[in-house]
Structure 1
Amino acid sequence: MTKTGILLVGHGSKKAYNKDLITKTAEIIAQKHPEFIVRCGFMEFNEPTIRESLDSFRQEDVDSIAVVPLFLARGVHIDEDIPGIIGLAPGQKRGIFALNGKEVPLVYADPIGPNPLLADLMMENARAALDLI
């Protein structure tokens, strides 16, 4: 049975907790959505790299891949670096990924951006901090 691949992309950091945030988020997505095969990859400092994780889908039976950056806003990595790594031109959102003798659609998601869920999370953090007073 084919599934959709999700590649969650993080920046990467020399601080272990930053890698943990991405890997644990990928694990949560995989647990909540077993119909997807979820991987994570990093721009720099951590492994697996974006390319390594994308290539790992070659061992899976996927019919499409969504590359989803866990970034808040647009920047050089979002607009240029990541698209280049996954074989897209800047500004391009759709492409093809050669996978085990077939070509599957590859799509590139936007960063989080302004989102009511993010605002709710920030208010939750603010309330938790205010409880310390």
Structure 2
Amino acid sequence: MYERPVLLVIAHGSRDPRHAATVHALVRRVRSRRPGLRVEVGFLDFNIPSVQGVLESLSAEGVRDVVALPLLLTRAFHAKADIPAVLAGAPPRLRIRQAEVLGPSPLLLSALERRLHEAGLTPADKSSTGIVLASAGSTDPEAIAVIADIAHQWRRTGWCAVRPAFASAALPRTQDAVRELRALGIRRVAVAPYVIAPGRLPDRIAAGAAEADADVLADVLGPAPELAALLLDRYAAAARDRHPAMV
């Protein structure tokens, strides 16, 4: 038996092996920050173990309490529909609390800044650099509005300009946002992928940055320490909630 709820990180999954490798690297960092916490990972599609398989294994071991944490940056279709549907099919002995998605959070902005600095920018470059905040995209208006709001908030930290862009489902595309900033007279433009792991859509973001000759392309968020800290924050909030949404 486990006194603390098990943390189950739920990732989307991808045919691209870099995706699962990055998710596992992030989970290892979470475990290293909280050695006494059991952390598992399950995938919705393409990769193993599946979420359902992990839940069945936990139930067979006698685990009772689980915090299911969507490895998602916005509250869109997967968080609203796919994940609740999978969790609803869990073994009935499990008590499952679904944590909030990761974004928005100041920790994510810190991770974005980290990746830009690793790509060559310095704090002194802020006032002369325009940023394209490039996300995967969604058909959910709430998710699109959140990305736009993050861009607005990030702009207030000192960047010359910040524009949202999307790899799918919404406009503008990365290359169009880069060109828009150029048209405003901004000489240095950096693309910051607002995605967690490599894959088809992050590759599309990178291709758009190259097509429009962006000066800087940051890496995906990946196993950034800020992301690991954020996962633990979301876990803690769900674990201590006296009136959680139980699945």
Compute the TM-score of the two structures, normalised by the length of structure 1.
0.79
The DSSP-based 3-state class of the residue aligned with 2:88 is coil
Q: 1:119 is matched with which residue: 90, 109, 121?
A: 109
- Number of corresponding residues: 122
User: What is the deviation of 1:28?
Assistant: 2.1
The residue type equivalent to 1:107 in the other structure is R
The DSSP-based 3-state class of the residue aligned with 1:13 is coil
Structure with the bigger percentage of strand: 1
Q: Which runs of 5+ in 2 are unaligned?
A: 122-214, 217-247
Q: 1:108 is matched with which residue: 98, 104, 119?
A: 98
Q: CA RMSD in A?
A: 2.2
Q: Is the 8 A contact 2:6 2:39 kept in 1?
A: yes
Q: Which runs of 5+ in 1 are unaligned?
A: 89-95
The DSSP-based 3-state class of the residue aligned with 2:38 is strand
Residue aligning to 1:21: 22
Cα distance in 2 for residues equivalent to 1:45 and 1:104: 25
Compute the TM-score of the two structures, normalised by the length of structure 2.
0.45
Runs of 4 or more consecutive aligned structure 1 residues displaced over 4 Å after TM superposition = none
Cα distance in 1 for residues equivalent to 2:94 and 2:70: 19
Matched, 1:130 2:120: yes
Residue aligning to 2:43: 42
Residue aligning to 2:2: 2
The residue type equivalent to 2:59 in the other structure is R
User: What is the deviation of 1:6?
Assistant: 1.0
User: What is the deviation of 1:52?
Assistant: 0.7
Bigger Cα Rg: 2
Q: Is the 8 A contact 1:10 1:42 kept in 2?
A: yes
